[in-house]
Structure 1
Amino acid sequence: MAGTMTDYITEQPRVLRSILGDRKENTLRFTEEWKRGSPDRLYLVASGTSNNAAAMAVPFMEELLGTEVRVAPPTLLPRVYGNSPFALFVSQGGNSNNTISAIEQWKGIHSLALTGQKECRINEIHPHVSIGCGPETAGPKTKGYTATVMTLYLLALETALALGRISGEEYRSYIGVLETAVENMEGNIRRCETWLSENLESLKKIEKCFVVARTTAFPVAQEGALKILETMLVPAAAYEFEEYLHGPICALDDRMAGIYLLPESGDGAFNRMNRLVEFHRGISPLVFTAGSLGGDKRDCGLALSGRWYTEPFELILPCQIMGAKLPAVLGIEDNGSKVYKALDSALNIKFAGGI
């Protein structure tokens, strides 16, 4: 039986614990390939939610691997630089025709695929590493997003440890923070469900929306906007906080909703972002936040690790819950997936038989 978005959201803590527990085995192939090739560039090729997950992992992977990391969709492959480039083709379902085409185009580049399904077209044609999330039949992806981010982090962590770029103590510290974020997820999911219930009447009124986050959390905002757009079927756009102030903010009116993904109170941008929240609330009542603090029922208070790299396991949850719950309330449940399936039939987006 096909699972629902809510099923997969609830499954995330278990899936992430499993990925952490199996990290040595699941990352070994990547680490061996990296050591063999000594890459000086890493290209992450991915679409949609996989692209957002890859973008979130970029600064973490650059820090750990000590090399430039670039993300690109398979239809916009960049010029390849470096003496020893390495490509990682990321596809949760493993059946994206565009990604299959990109693999063919970059045949001469040292590469692996990163997939979430044991049986898929990409695994048939290319060496691969597992994301470890298992099937996700719901159209809008949730557990695949967090699982992909976690797997990319662990690929970098295990390889950095093997290369001596980080000490055992540093490695254990990173793993401890990731474990804490995962342990917080079940409580954070419940907090999001309570927040949605208390704000249901307001959230139902969203007709258009900005999702805003500062610096490293911007890719989380991109994924949050995608979840809202593809489930609630309303325009949703993501912006980095400071970039948001340079033009997009001019579109604020009483119908423009805002979801602000706030850093912890010790972050230098915290007070400035809160002033923006209050400014927006002076224009529209449909302004919500996610973060560690909140004195308004529109603020979704979450348990945060205090480290920027766990934000995709924390700040994404309110938008995931909105995408899972609100379409049924609005009477549009599965409408987005129906459009996508019709489009897939017309444009051949996925390899035949894939999900």
Structure 2
Amino acid sequence: MTTMTMFDYINQEQETLTNILQMYDFSSDPSLAKMGTVTVLATGSSFNACLSAKIAFEKLADVSITIEEPYNFNHYGRLIKGTDTIIGVSQSGKSASTIDAMQNPHKSEIQRIVLTSDLTSPIAQVVNKVIDLNMGIETVGFVTKGFSATVMQLILLAIKVGVSKNQIDEQRLAELKQELLEIISNIQSVIDKSNAFFEHHENLLKLGGRFVALGYGPNWGVAKEFETKFTETVRRPSQGFELEAYMHGPYLEADWEHTLFFIETPSVNQSRSQALADYMDSYVGKILKVTTEKSSDAAVLGLDVTISEMFSPLLLIIPFQLIAYRTATVKGIDLSKRIFDDFDSVLKSKI
């Protein structure tokens, strides 16, 4: 039996997202038309995916969303008054903290929805509606395809809510579907460009001691997923920050060991990002950028795609998934070898 790798799953993303979009049922659902104030419960890469999709979801579905870490919410949290929907996200469906938070007593009129890739998993038994992530079971612990599928499913759920509220008509629905198809069609090109970018900076990344990613808007979620992926695979100090938050303290630790990644899309915040990059350039080892725009600068991975900012995480995450995998590989880290093998059983983090 062939052992799957992160790279294998990255290469499946284009086909998987295409299938998800083509198979999606956008018909109106009366239960979703009532959605207005939403609490989302997720942890790890699922949390990062929700953060990446939050702006698109709020805009397309006309809702307000709060994203909570389920363990903390279960023990210390409180639902915002007027909450009508709780959405849990667990790719495996076995996250103990998410299951506990979803099944805790709440008002009966609050609908509970879960997104999972295992429809028979424990979390599927404690909710009103189960949404299949529709990407199969990802056997590699360092999820890539699952992250992208979660972002896509949340965007499509938001569109379905908008349709159910009669806020998205047939013409607008067709436009959104076409935009998403065009985004998906660029995935292979992004993979190829990311591979070339990695190879150009391979020595820098191989020797890097501290990695930081900065993003704004929906790509704050991409920066956080960068943190998760690099921590899990490269196993060097790595963090992801919202652009402005980095300016309020974290920049003070910057030194020559730091490699800073700036994630940029055309936005009112882009000039702020560029000003920070220019300032930090003389204080860190290297500034690298990933942007949706075109670039001939060797330090900038320019994807050269036209894409709305709210959907941009679907493409901007891919370079970091690939760079994490390839950096770990050149560092000699065998990602197929399990470490902390008894962690889940001892700490009971998964059922």
1:176 aligns with 2:178: yes
SS at the partner of 2:342?
helix
Deviations 1:130-155 (A, max 9, x none): 11111111111111111101101111
1:97 aligns with 2:96: yes
Paired with 1:179 and 1:87, the residues of 2 have a C-alpha distance of 29
List, as ranges, runs of 4+ consecutive aligned residues in structure 1 with deviation greater than 4 Å.
Answer: none
Tell me if structure 1 keeps the 8 A contact 2:86–2:111: yes
Structure 1 residue 162 displacement after superposition: 2.6
Paired with 1:183 and 1:335, the residues of 2 have a C-alpha distance of 30
Residue aligning to 2:273: 273
1:116 aligns with 2:117: yes
Paired with 1:316 and 1:19, the residues of 2 have a C-alpha distance of 18
Paired with 1:346 and 1:261, the residues of 2 have a C-alpha distance of 37
Residue aligning to 1:186: 188
1:63 aligns with 2:79: no
SS at the partner of 2:29?
helix
SS at the partner of 2:211?
strand
Residue aligning to 1:235: 237
Residue of 18, 31, 34 corresponding to 1:33: 31
Structure 1 residue 224 displacement after superposition: 1.1
Residue aligning to 2:202: 200
Paired with 1:215 and 1:125, the residues of 2 have a C-alpha distance of 33
Tell me if structure 1 keeps the 8 A contact 2:96–2:350: yes
Residue aligning to 2:257: 255
Paired with 1:213 and 1:39, the residues of 2 have a C-alpha distance of 29
Residue aligning to 1:160: 162
Deviations 1:127-180 (A, max 9, x none): 411111111111111111111011011111022113211222222222222111
Structure 1 residue 203 displacement after superposition: 0.7
Tell me if structure 2 keeps the 8 A contact 1:184–1:303: no
SS at the partner of 2:241?
strand
Paired with 1:242 and 1:307, the residues of 2 have a C-alpha distance of 21
Tell me if structure 2 keeps the 8 A contact 1:180–1:305: no
Q: Please, what is the CA RMSD of the aligned residues?
A: 2.0
Alignment CA distance shift 1:248-1:218 (3 Å): same
Structure 1 residue 39 displacement after superposition: 3.3
SS at the partner of 2:312?
helix
Aligned pair count reads 343
Structure 1 residue 93 displacement after superposition: 0.9
Tell me if structure 2 keeps the 8 A contact 1:260–1:277: yes
Deviations 1:233-275 (A, max 9, x none): 11111112122222211211111110110123xx333334223
Residue aligning to 1:325: 326
Paired with 2:79 and 2:41, the residues of 1 have a C-alpha distance of 12
SS at the partner of 1:212?
strand
Structure 1 residue 222 displacement after superposition: 0.7
SS at the partner of 2:147?
helix
Structure 1 residue 282 displacement after superposition: 2.2
Paired with 1:106 and 1:68, the residues of 2 have a C-alpha distance of 22
Structure 1 residue 115 displacement after superposition: 0.5
1:49 aligns with 2:45: yes
Deviations 1:260-300 (A, max 9, x none): 10123xx3333342233233332334321101233432211
- 1:346 partner letter: V
Residue aligning to 2:153: 151
Tell me if structure 2 keeps the 8 A contact 1:231–1:336: no
Paired with 1:210 and 1:323, the residues of 2 have a C-alpha distance of 12
- With normalisation by structure 1, the TM-score equals 0.90
Paired with 1:6 and 1:102, the residues of 2 have a C-alpha distance of 33
Identity of counterpart residues, as a percentage? Answer: 24
SS at the partner of 1:80?
coil
Structure 1 residue 97 displacement after superposition: 1.1
Paired with 1:21 and 1:335, the residues of 2 have a C-alpha distance of 33
Paired with 1:294 and 1:190, the residues of 2 have a C-alpha distance of 15
Paired with 1:23 and 1:303, the residues of 2 have a C-alpha distance of 28
Paired with 1:32 and 1:3, the residues of 2 have a C-alpha distance of 41
Residue aligning to 1:87: 86
Tell me if structure 2 keeps the 8 A contact 1:45–1:74: yes
Tell me if structure 2 keeps the 8 A contact 1:293–1:301: yes
Deviations 1:171-216 (A, max 9, x none): 2222222111111111001100111111100111221121101233
